[in-house]
Amino acid sequence: MDKKRIAKKLVYAFITIFFVLLFNFFLFRVLPGDIVSMLSRGGKATPEMLANIRKMYGLDLPWYQQFFVYLKNLSAGDLGVSFMYKKPVLDVIGARILPTVVLLGVAEIFAILIGIVFGIVSAWKRGKALDTGLLSTSLLLYSMPTFWLGMMLILIFCVYLKVLPISGMVTPGRLFVDQWAQLQDILRHMILPMICLTLGMIGEYAITMRSTVIDVLSEDYITTAKAKGFSDGYVLRRHAMPNAMLPMITLIAINLGMIVGGAIQVETVFSWPGLGSLMYNALVNRDYPLLQGVFLLSTVAVVFANFLSDILYEMVDPRVRSMGG
Partner 1 sequence: MAVNKTKANLRRRRMREFLDQVKANKMALTGTIVLAFFVLTAIIGPFFFPFDVMEFGNVEDILQPPGPGHILGTDDMGRDVLGYLIAGSRVSLLVGALATLLCMVIGTIIGIVAGYSGKAVDNILMRITDFFLVIPWLPLMMVLAAILGTSIWNIILVIGVTSWAGTARVVRAQTLSVRERQFVERTVSIGAGSGHIMLYHILPNVFPLVFASTILVAAAAITSETTLSFLGMGDPAHASWGMMLHYAFETGATSTGAWWYFLPPGICVVAVVLAFTLMGYAFDEILNPKLKER
To partner 1, the closest distance from the beta carbon of 268 in angstroms equals 7
CA separation, residue 141 to residues 27, 161, 197, 202 (Å): 34, 22, 11, 7
Please state the closest distance from residue 73 (CB atom) to partner 1, in A: 19
Going by C-alpha positions, the residue among 122, 165, 135 that lies closest to residue 271 is: 165
Q: How far is the CB of 292 from partner 1 (least distance, A)?
A: 8
Interface residues with partner 1 (CB under 8 A) are 15-16, 19-20, 27-28, 31, 139-140, 142-148, 151-152, 154-155, 158-160, 166, 214-215, 218, 254, 256-258, 260-261, 264-265, 268-269, 279-280, 283-284, 286, 288, 291-292, 294-295, 298-299, 302-303, 306
**How does DSSP assign 197-225, residue by residue?**
HHHHHHHHHHHHHHHHHHHHHTSHHHHHH
Helix, strand, coil percentages, rounded to 5, for the chain:
80, 0, 20
Give the shortest CB-139-to-partner 1 separation in angstroms. 6
* CB-CB contact of 208 with 119 (8 Å): yes
Task: Identify whether the C-beta of residue 305 lies closer than 8 Å to the C-beta of residue 253.
Answer: yes
Q: What's the closest the beta carbon of residue 154 comes to partner 1, in angstroms?
A: 5
Pick the closer one to partner 1 by CB: 12 or 182.
Answer: 12
CB nearer to partner 1: give 182 or 285: 285
Comparison of 51 and 132: residue with beta carbon closer to partner 1:
132
Smaller CB distance to partner 1: residue 51 or 254?
A: 254
Sign of CA dihedral 243, 247, 249, 250: positive
198 vs 306 by CB, closer to partner 1: 306
User: Is residue 114 a contact partner of residue 195, using CB atoms and an 8 Å limit?
Assistant: no
| Least distance between partner 1 and beta carbon 177 (Å) | 28
Question: Considering beta carbons, is residue 143 or 179 the nearer one to partner 1?
Answer: 143
